[in-house]
Amino acid sequence: MSEANLPPFSRLRERAWVAYLVAAMLASAGYFALPKGAIGQAAVFLAIELISIGAIVAGVSWWRPAKPAFWYLLGAGQLIYLAGNATWYLYPVGLHGVLPYPSVADALFITSYLVSGVALALLIRSRSTGAQGRADLIDTAIIGLGLASVSWTFLIAPALNGSPLGLAGQLTSVAYPLLDITLLSLAIRLGVTPGARMTSHWLVLLWIAGQFAADSAFAATTLSGAFSYGDLTFAGWLLSFVFIGSAALHPSMRDLTQPSPARPELAGRVRLLLLAGAALIPVALILLDISRGKPEHHFVLASIAGVLIVLVSLRLSGLMVDIAEHHRVQLELEQEIAVRQAAEARLQQQTETLQRSNAELEQFAYIASHDLQEPLRMVASYTGLLKRRYAGKLDAEADEFIDYAMDGVTRMRDLINDLLTYSRVGREERPAECVDSRVALDRALANLEAAIADRQALVAIGNLPTVMASSLQLTQVFQNLIGNGLKFCLETRPEIRIDAERRGRDWVFSIKDNGIGIDPQYRDRIFLIFQRLHKRDEYEGTGIGLAICKKIVERQGGRIWVDSEPGKGATFRFTLRAMDALAAAA
Amino acid sequence: MNPVGERVEILLVEDNPGDVRLTREAMKEAKVRNQLHVVSDGVEAIAFLRRQGTYANAVRPHLILMDLNLPRKDGREVLAEIKQDTDLRRIPVVILTTSEAEVDILKAYDLHANCYIAKPVDIEQFLTVVKSIEDFWITIVKLPSR
């Protein structure tokens, strides 16, 4: 839908995410203007969070995504998170109470992280198309484990080490960083899925980044005892609320859950560098610990390093397989190309041979028909003279013999003439010119005048165009086709209709008759030279006429064919390029 | 009109005896009394016209019928020579040949042939053509006196 077609309200919706983003940013700035650690800050914080949930609800109802499950789960997670925050923030700040550790708030937080994690997993699944899935999963695990080793060294281990907390407290302390790492890993996984990189997608990633940054800062400040309500850590959480609300309001959220075609990404240089870096983190941390003289994390870090080595090996083997596959496909392609080139060369050779033999055949036909004229004329003339001088003067048998000889001479003359005409097409050709096809047709009809009168044929003529052709040859084509129409129509009075219609860049001429028709199985054969479908005493002819038509039409770049059924007449059609089409091409 | 009773002298330049005989037969049926002189190649044709060698006593023809494809000296060369000769060029030359090729027709007229006729295959037509030549070039056309 283009913007101009949208009703004003919809256009407002398109922009609502910007308004929300700006307003929520300003409100976040306002948070820090308020007295630090006061109830007012808590109220603003929770209000911004509540509004972000409202934005998710509004976004889902406005844009109606095809797969809304992600957004529902996300909203639910945020709602639980809000409940956690309300407890965690209002109880100490508003009521000046002291929260135990772990408290209800921690249970709510952990639940919300789990729900959000499931939501992200769902989103990743709906965006993935499978092909690149395994490699992406391994990459995510490598980076997640690398980050986990950092988390272990700086957050988890210090919290556990000599902790006064009970088991529940210790588990809670471990759960937070682990859940954060899980969310971050899912975010990375989401980042490398092949789906479309849309605004909503980036905003979801920013939400997780903000959350992770704030959670890490919180963990660190809590450990060092520097944490206080309203400090800079809260900026990270506030930003994460703003981002997730904007992600839901942006119009592109509708298509966030849509998979898109996999991009061919075997292993980019940046990705490989990141993976190598992540895999080296535990080793670096072990070295750091040794240098600090605190070797207590080695078991865990070494285990992580071991797992990482396995993962990297898996990834490498995958790459090797990919490369081998790539290589195999390339080899196959090369072989295929070689085979095709060979076939092409063979075809080229055959074409040349065919062209040569065609040229030789035409040369032969020309020379034969040309040189046969002379002896033919002798035979014809003297047989004619014999008949003229001696018909009725010898006996009856002699007259019969002379008639047979005359008959043979006549047929031979027709054959040689047609053959000569056929071989002359293209040999003694004048350049194509602008021809009024009606003029060419009239000339053909004049040549056929005797036959038309003899058969009392009805000839109907439609509107005929001007085309690019050789005028004499066009006449020849009309003459042969109409002549056929007259010839193959012994039972009834011939009715022949000549017409033309425009089809794209061509004019399609049609010559329709009411004759005996042609069995469709002979549709192609009739256009071959010397092909006859009838015995000579049924219909006379040399079997060259249609071959001449075909040769003429095809030399002009056209096509000729016949539509017919036995007993239902035939319609011969041929195409010639229209004048305006030629002008346009020039 | 040519003087009544004067015998018309025709030179036929033709190498094919069959065609010579045909022309002779056709001329036999002609109305006008005529004498057909036959030479079978271009060299002989020129010798006949210039009364050289054995043709020292040859008559000057009223009309020349000539094929294009001749041994020794081609019909086109003979035609060119006749039409370059201030005396001989007044004799009408009828090209009578089998060729219907455009190039041959053009070439013949370029060399000032008086007319070009393709020999018909059919005997009746051939007779008609020869009769027409006779009618036109001998009876109708006014030729310069010799």
At A295, is the pLDDT very low, low, confident or very high (cuts 50, 70, 90)?
low
Residue A155 near residue A175, CB atoms below 8 Å: no
Among residues A165, A163, A149, A209, which one has the least CA distance to residue A184?
A209
Helix (H, G, I), strand (E, B) or coil at A586: coil
Mean pLDDT, all residues of chain A: 84
Q: Does B142 fall in a domain? A: no
| A-to-B residue pairs, Cβ atoms closer than 8 angstroms | 37
Task: Tell me: ipTM over 0.90.
Answer: no
Contact A428 B101 (CB under 8 A): yes
CB-count burial class (<10 Å; 0-12, 13-18, 19+) for A548: buried
Q: Do A388 and B123 touch (CB under 8 A)?
A: yes
Q: Across residues A50-54, what is the average pLDDT?
A: 94
**A373 with B124: Cβ contact below 8 A:** no
Put simply, the answer to whether B101 touches A373 (Cβ < 8 Å) is no
Q: Chain A: residue nearest B123 by CA? A: A381
CATH number at residue B71: 3.40.50.2300
Residue A138: inside a domain: no
- Contact between A223 and A215 under an 8 Å Cβ cutoff? The reply is no
Q: Rounding to the nearest 10 degrees, give the CA dihedral for residues A449, A451, A456, A457.
A: -80
Check if B121 contacts A (Cβ < 8 Å): yes
In a domain, A329, yes or no: no
SS3 A63: helix
Q: Is B143 within the bounds of a domain?
A: no
Residue B10's SS3 state is strand
- Overall average pLDDT of the B118-143 stretch: 86
CB A479 within 8 A of CB A447: yes
A306 lies in a domain? Answer: no
User: Across the interface, do B122 and A374 touch by the CB < 8 Å criterion?
Assistant: no
Q: Which domain holds residue A452?
A: 430-585
Enumerate the residues of chain A whose CB falls inside 8 A of the CB of residue B121: 373, 376-377, 380-381, 413
B116 Ramachandran zone, left/alpha/beta (phi>0; psi -120 to 50): beta
Q: Identify whether residues A54 and A187 lie together within a single domain.
A: yes
Rank A338-347, A386-395, A433-442 by mean pLDDT and report only the highest.
A338-347
Identify whether A102 is preceded by a cis peptide bond (ω within 30 of 0). Answer: yes
Tell me the average pLDDT across A6-27. Answer: 83
- Closest Cα in chain A to B98: A374
- The residue that leads in pLDDT, A536 or A160, is A160
pLDDT-derived band at A2 (thresholds 50, 70, 90) equals very low
Q: Tokens in use for A119?
A: 């939501």
DSSP string over A18-52: HHHHHHHHHHHHHHHHSPTTSHHHHHHHHHHHHHH
**DSSP class per residue in A556-577:** TT--EEEEE-TTS-EEEEEEEE
| Whether residue A53 has pLDDT greater than 80 | yes
The pair of structure tokens assigned to A281 is 């983190």
- Structure token digits, residue A384: 């004619």
What is the rounded CA–CA span in Å between residue A440 and residue A445? 9
Using DSSP, state whether A457 is helix, strand or coil: coil
Do residues A191 and A265 touch, judged by C-beta distance below 8 A? no
Which is more confidently placed, A543 or A353? Answer: A353
Tell me how crowded residue A161 is: count the other CB atoms within 10 A of its CB: 10
Could you tell me which residue, A332 or A428, shows the higher pLDDT? A332
Q: Does B126 touch chain A (CB under 8 A)?
A: yes
Query: Is B2 within the bounds of a domain?
Result: no
Highest averaged pLDDT of the listed ranges A218-227, A270-279, A285-294, A497-506? A497-506
pLDDT for A442: 92
Separation of alpha carbons A70 and A3, rounded Å? 28
Q: Please indicate, yes or no, whether residues A452 and A558 belong to a single structural domain of this protein.
A: yes
Q: How many domains does chain B have?
A: 1
Provide the domain limits for residue B45: 8-136
* Residue B121 to residue A380, Cβ atoms within 8 A: yes
Is A79 found in the same domain as A53?
yes
Question: How would residue B124 be classed by pLDDT, with cut points 50, 70 and 90?
Answer: confident
Report CA A478 to chain centroid distance, whole Å. Answer: 46
Domains in chain A: how many in total? 3
Residue A281 lies in a domain: no
Cis peptide before B61 (omega within 30 of 0): no
Q: Count CB-CB contacts under 10 A for residue A83.
A: 16
Residue A279: inside a domain? no
Using a CB-CB cut-off of 8 Å, the residues of chain A touching B18 are 378, 381-382
Domain membership of residue A237 (yes or no) is yes
- Among residues A374, A403, A423, the one where a domain terminates is A423
Considering the domain architecture, whether residues A394 and A525 belong to the same structural domain is answered as: no
DSSP state of B115: E
Same domain, A561 and A451: yes
pLDDT at B35: 87
Contact A378, B120 (CB under 8 A): no
Q: In this structure, is residue A251 part of a structural domain?
A: yes
Question: What tokens were used for A109?
Answer: 């937080």
Which residue of B102, B119, B124 is in closest CB contact with A377? B119
pLDDT the model gives residue A521? 81
pLDDT band at A1 (very low <50, low <70, confident <90, very high): very low
Q: Specify whether A543 is located in the same domain as A406.
A: no
Same domain assignment for residues A446 and A575:
yes
Tokens matching residue B71: 């041994």
| Residue A94 shares a structural domain with residue A235 | yes
- Nearest by CB to residue B126, choosing from A373, A376, A381, is A381
A139-157 pLDDT per residue, tens:
888 888 888 888 888 877 7
Q: What are phi and psi of B94, to 5 degrees?
A: -100, 115
Q: Is residue B141 part of a domain?
A: no
**End-of-domain residue from the set A246, A265, A284:** A265
Same domain as A175, residue A27: yes
Quick check: is B118 in a domain?
Answer: yes
Residues A404 and A538 in one domain: no
Residues of B in contact with A428 (CB under 8 A): 101-102
